[in-house]
């Protein structure tokens, strides 16, 4: 499992190419040759870049769902809508498909935000708004999500 760190600003050109920042590319170097999957986020108007091994692990979980259950089948269809396999070219660029650019509302200025084992790809203004909106209730969210966890708790704060 890969643990990515950092938030990076970059630009996307008119052809939909973005240059991975060198610090992020260095973190991704162990998985560059395997390729990536780029998909729509479930909860936000952004994209998610999965290293192929992370995508495969997630798909193993999804593949266990009973497709004869309508909700499961609908979930799988929507979850995988617009999924694209991509590679990083020799120059360190990633080509983003036009339908994904449209979904995320990507303009010229982007933010690539490491999110543990994936990278979120945001339009810069949408990212800043999402962070500002979430700041108001982050303390409550942190307490709800992490505050009641005592299993293997090591005192990190």
- The tens digit of pLDDT for each residue in 14-46 reads 999 999 999 999 999 999 999 999 999 999 999
- The tens digit of pLDDT for each residue in 98-140 reads 999 999 999 999 999 999 999 999 999 999 999 887 766 777 8
Dist. CA 123–CA 61, nearest whole Å: 30
pLDDT of residue 145: 85
Q: What is the CATH number of the domain that holds 106?
A: 3.40.1550.20
Distances (CA, A) of 115 to 16, 56, 89, 112: 22, 17, 23, 9
pLDDT of residue 135: 67
Residue 142 burial (C-beta neighbours within 10 Å; 0-12, 13-18, 19+): exposed
- The tens digit of pLDDT for each residue in 42-76 reads 999 999 999 999 999 999 999 999 999 999 999 99
Residue 67 lies in a domain: yes
Per the structure, the complete domain to which residue 41 belongs is given by: 7-124
Residue 152 lies in a domain: no
Report the SS3 class of residue 146.
Answer: helix
Whose CA is closest to 25, among 39, 38, 6?
6
Instruction: Tell me the whole-structure pTM to 2 decimals.
Output: 0.87
């Amino acid at each position: 499992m890969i643990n990515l760190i950092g938030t990076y600003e970059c630009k996307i050109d008119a052809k939909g190419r973005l240059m991975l920042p060198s610090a992020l590319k260095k973190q991704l170097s162990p998985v560059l040759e395997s390729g990536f999957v780029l998909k729509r986020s479930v909860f936000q108007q952004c994209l998610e870049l999965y290293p192929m091994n992370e995508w495969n692990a997630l798909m193993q979980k999804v593949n266990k769902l009973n497709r004869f259950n309508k909700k499961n089948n609908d979930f799988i269809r929507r979850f995988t809508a617009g999924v694209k396999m991509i590679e990083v070219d020799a120059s360190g660029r990633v080509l983003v498909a036009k339908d994904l650019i449209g979904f995320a509302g990507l303009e010229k200025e982007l933010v690539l935000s490491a999110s543990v084992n994936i990278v979120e790809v945001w339009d810069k203004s949408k990212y800043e708004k999402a962070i500002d909106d979430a700041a108001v209730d982050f303390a409550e969210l942190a307490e709800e999500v992490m505050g009641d966890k005592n299993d293997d708790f090591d005192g990190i704060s």
